[in-house]
Structure 1
Amino acid sequence: MTEADVVYSDVKFTKSKEKATVTSSPNESTYAEVKILKTEPSAGSQQQAAGGSKVTAERVAVVVLSALLLAAVIALGYICYEYHQTTGHLQKLTVENAAMRKNITETRCEVIMVQKPCPQPPADTCHKCQEGWEQNGPQCYYFSTVKLTWEQARERCRRDGADLVKIESEDEQSFLMQTLRDKMTEPEDKFWIGLTDSVTEGTWLWTDGTPLNKSLTFWSKGEPDNWTGVNNENVDGEDCVRMGTKSGSGLKWWFDKSCTAPQKRICEKSAVTGRPTCI
């Protein structure tokens, strides 16, 4: 025990009277020194105080973490909102741009046809598509509403002097995607294009026999996967390509599919080209 743990106190005791007639004087008092120990706090009290501090610290930590999590959720929601807004605006601009180019092409042809005076036919050429076909530059596209196998779809295109579409640029892929979104009724409502590896597995060829340019492909994530179905029920795998998506952004929306699965189709042929005549 240390010196600091001891408290000294003076206690005065008075001698008892020997006789009733005798009274002790103040000088006869006896003093005794008594040591009183300080009271130590019990272990239970210390544990209770420590426990209370720990609980308070945990509550503060939970409140802080909850606030940070809420702030992160709000920030993430705002970022997602901005992303969808930007994507929607970009898609709208793309559609408007395609429509504007189509209108400009048609208007230009009409102006050339009626220009006066006209001593000789204009040197400019004009591209036109027949009714029911969509025009993009010098090419015309037909989007069917009937579902056929890949071979049947190609035969129908050839009857109209066309073939299944061959995609040769990002501009063409963008035009087709924007057009398809207006024509699709559900996510699986996709369209055949003229690409297949039915001759040699893994060697993708267009219908005209030219190989796929590997630097210009638009496969969706994980495609092509040549899926054989459950318990290999699709023994031939997936050797033909379809495209389309009802939502989403970007241009990578090609999917390999069994050539015998009925799908809609996209036919492509060159627009009618000619020199306008004076009228």
Structure 2
Amino acid sequence: DEKTHARPPRSGNGSDQENTKKTLKDENEALKKNFTGEFETVQRFIIYKQLQWSLYSNLLKVHTCPKCEEGWELHGGKCYYFSTSKSTWDQSRDDCRRGGGDLVKIDSREEQLRLRQKMDYDEDKFWIGLTDSKEEDKWLWVDDSPLNTSLTFWSGKDPDNWTGTNPEGEDCARMGERGGADDLKCWFDRSCKDPQKSICEKSAETGRVTRV
């Protein structure tokens, strides 16, 4: 008799593997989509914050607003004090230092012009921070910097170190005297012991936040 052999059952391993691969592929695609979406969200958030900060920066600006104490005048980022009392050059310098500054150092033609415009009367004569008391004819500012010979405003034949009233001569600089000086050339050497008004100078205070 012919023996009947039972056909072995078909294995399902192949289809299971295909299903698993498909599932993994679908999950991978879903993860990629989620990641891409989250990345784009982060990018949009960063751009939004950058725009927000840019707008805020335009609304809030920090300005350096120079200001001076009461009695001092603001010009070009510096504070000036024009004394009304008269003192020797050394005493005037001490007074300026007590106020946080020093006798004025003139650094430009524009500064000379600003100061000159404050002198309306013949009695407006002021000590400035220039002297050759350490060495004759070697003029130094109060910060010990030498006078720039291309930026001087001596009047006429000054400095002449005249000894007519003081045998020690004239070793300190004064500006003013409209009646005897033309244009901006209004510096004169005078005896440091003569009582004169004075001009003090110091840096303006800064650092105020202003909304615009």
**TM-score, structure 1 as length reference:** 0.53
> Which of 122, 147, 167 matches 2:61?
122
**Partners of 1:195 and 1:240 within 8 A in 2:** yes
Contact 1:226 1:237 in 2 (8 A): yes
Q: Secondary structure at the match of 1:216?
A: coil
* Deviation, structure 1 residue 118: 8.7
CA contact (8 A) 1:190 1:263 kept: yes
Deviation at 1:180, TM superposition (A): 1.9
The answer to whether the Cα contact below 8 Å between 2:129 and 2:173 also exists between their aligned partners in 1 is yes
Which residue does 1:193 correspond to in 2? 128
User: Residue 133 in 1 paired to residue 72 in 2?
Assistant: yes
Indicate the residue corresponding to 1:253 in structure 2: 186
Residues 152/121 of structure 1: CA separation in 2 closer, same or farther (3 Å cut): farther
2:178–2:186 CA contact under 8 A, matched in 1: no
Q: Cα distance, 1:275 vs. partner?
A: 2.9
2:149 to 214, 219, 244: 214
Supply the AA of the counterpart residue of 1:135: L
When normalised by structure 2's length, the TM-score is: 0.69
Aligned partners of 2:171, 2:184: CA distance in 1, in Å? 21
Would you say 1:276 and 2:175 are equivalent positions? no
Letter in 2 for 1:238: E
Q: Provide the secondary structure at the position in 2 that maps to 1:128.
A: coil
CA distance in 2, matches of 1:124, 1:145: 33
Question: CA contact under 8 A between 2:104 and 2:200: conserved in structure 1?
Answer: yes
1:34-183 superposed matches below 5 A: 121-181=60-120
Fraction of identical pairs, as percent? 60
Q: How many residues align?
A: 156
5+ residue gaps, structure 1, are: 1-116
CA drift at 1:130:
1.6
User: In 2, are the aligned partners of 1:121 and 1:275 still within 8 Å (CA)?
Assistant: no
Tell me, in whole angstroms, the C-alpha distance in 1 between the residues paired with 2:142 and 2:196: 17
Structure with higher RCO (Cα < 8 A, 6+ apart)? 2
Q: Using the alignment, how far apart are the partners of 2:191 and 2:60 within structure 1?
A: 51
Equivalents in 2 of 1:258, 1:222: separation in Å? 16
CA contact (8 A) 1:122 1:275 kept: no
Q: 1:262 aligns with which of 174, 189, 195?
A: 195
CA distance in 2, matches of 1:138, 1:273: 9
CA distance in 2, matches of 1:156, 1:129: 17
Q: 1:121 offset after TM fit, Å?
A: 4.6
Amino acid at match of 1:164: L
RMSD: 2.0
Mark the CA change 1:236 to 1:246 in structure 2 (over 3 Å): closer, same or farther: same
- Note if contact 1:118-1:278 (Cα within 8 Å) is conserved in structure 2: no
Task: Report deviation, 1:271.
Answer: 0.8
Runs in 1 of length 4+ with deviation above 4 angstroms?
Answer: 117-121
Q: Give the aligned residue type for 2:168.
A: D
Cross-structure match for 1:242: 174
Greater Rg over alpha carbons, structure: 1
